[in-house]
C-alpha cells in the first residue's frame, strides 16, 4: 500500500524502469499536443504494477496518449472520452480503429465517468484526465474516487510548475485536493527517463508552434518544468 508522496515517487520510478522497454518509443511519430513519452511511461508503469483492469481516459485530442496505451496495454479495455466529435475527433477515430480494446465515447465526462465506473464494479480502474484540466479535473476525480472504491489511481496532465502568477494555477491547486502526489518534472524522474522523449521534441529546423515542446519550453516560452507534466495520485481510503 502506498501511503505518502515519498512512497509514491519510489513506486513510480521503479514501475517506470521495469516497463521502460514495453514499446519502441523511438519508432512512434509524436503528435503535437499529445502527452510526451516519459509521462506516458509513468502511466503505463503504474497501470501495469497496480494490475489495473480498465482505463478511463478523458480528453484524447488527437489520440496520441490513447494510441500509446493501446500499443503498450493491448489486453486492457480503454474507454476514451472526448467532449465533441469535431474534425480532429473524426480523424482520431480513423487513427485508432486498429485497436480492438479501445472504445471511443463523446460527451460530458462528469456524467460519463461515474456511469462507466458504476457499470464495472468488479474492475480495478485507472482514470487519466487531460480534459477537463485543473481544478475541474481534481474535483471530478475526488468525487468519483470517494464514491467508488475500485478506482485505484488518477493521472492529471498539464500540471507544470508555474513561472508567473497568471500561469497554470493547477500545480498549487492540486495540493488542496490530494496529499499523496507525484509529478513527472521531478528531477530524478527526468534524468532517468528523458532519453525516450527524443521524438517528442521539436528540434531546430522544424516548424515551431505554440504547442511545440522542448525541455523547459513550450513554443518560444520558457517555464521551470521539464515538460507539460503529469501528476499522479493514489486515492486515500479512510
Q: Output the tens digit of pLDDT for each of the chain's 238 residues.
A: 899 999 999 999 999 999 999 999 999 999 989 999 999 999 999 999 999 999 999 999 999 999 999 999 999 999 999 999 999 999 999 999 999 999 999 999 999 999 999 999 999 999 999 999 999 999 999 999 999 999 999 999 999 997 666 667 788 899 999 999 999 999 999 999 999 999 999 866 678 888 899 999 988 888 899 999 999 999 987 6
- Pairing assessment for the beta strands 151-157 and 230-233 based on DSSP bridges: antiparallel
The answer to whether the CB of 130 falls within 8 A of the CB of 61 is yes
How far apart CA 220 and CA 133 sit, in angstroms, is: 22
Read off the pTM.
0.96
- Name the grid cell of 40: 506516458
Q: Where are the domains of the chain?
A: 5-233
Phi, psi of 82 (to 5 degrees): -130, 145
**CATH code of the region 5-233:** 3.40.50.150
Which is it for the CA torsion 54, 57, 61, 65, positive or negative? negative
C-alpha cell at 174: 492540486
Strand order in the sheet with 230-233: 102-106, 78-82, 54-58, 125-129, 151-157, 230-233, 181-183
Amino acid at each position: 500500500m502506498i501511503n505518502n508522496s515519498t512512497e509514491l515517487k519510489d513506486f513510480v520510478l521503479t514501475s517506470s524502469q521495469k516497463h521502460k522497454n514495453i514499446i519502441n518509443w523511438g519508432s512512434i511519430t509524436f503528435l503535437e499536443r499529445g502527452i510526451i513519452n516519459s509521462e506516458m511511461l509513468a502511466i503505463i508503469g503504474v497501470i501495469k504494477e497496480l494490475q489495473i483492469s480498465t482505463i478511463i481516459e478523458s480528453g484524447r485530442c488527437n489520440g496520441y496518449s490513447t494510441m500509446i496505451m493501446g500499443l503498450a496495454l493491448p489486453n486492457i479495455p480503454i474507454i476514451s472520452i472526448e467532449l465533441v466529435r469535431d474534425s480532429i475527433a473524426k480523424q482520431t477515430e480513423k487513427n485508432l480503429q486498429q485497436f480492438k480494446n479501445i472504445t471511443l465515447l463523446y460527451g460530458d465526462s462528469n456524467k460519463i465517468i461515474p456511469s462507466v465506473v458504476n457499470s464495472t464494479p468488479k474492475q480495478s480502474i485507472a482514470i487519466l484526465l487531460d480534459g477537463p484540466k485543473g481544478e475541474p479535473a481534481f474535483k471530478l476525480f475526488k468525487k468519483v474516487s470517494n464514491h467508488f472504491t475500485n478506482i485505484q489511481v488518477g493521472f492529471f496532465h498539464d500540471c507544470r510548475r508555474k513561472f508567473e502568477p497568471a500561469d497554470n494555477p493547477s500545480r498549487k491547486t492540486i495540493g488542496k485536493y490530494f496529499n499523496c502526489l507525484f509529478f513527472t518534472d521531478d528531477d530524478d524522474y527526468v534524468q532517468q527517463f528523458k532519453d525516450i522523449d527524443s521524438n517528442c521534441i521539436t528540434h531546430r529546423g522544424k516548424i515551431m508552434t505554440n504547442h511545440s515542446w522542448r525541455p523547459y519550453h513550450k513554443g518560444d516560452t520558457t517555464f521551470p518544468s521539464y515538460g507539460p507534466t503529469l501528476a499522479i495520485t493514489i486515492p486515500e481510503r479512510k
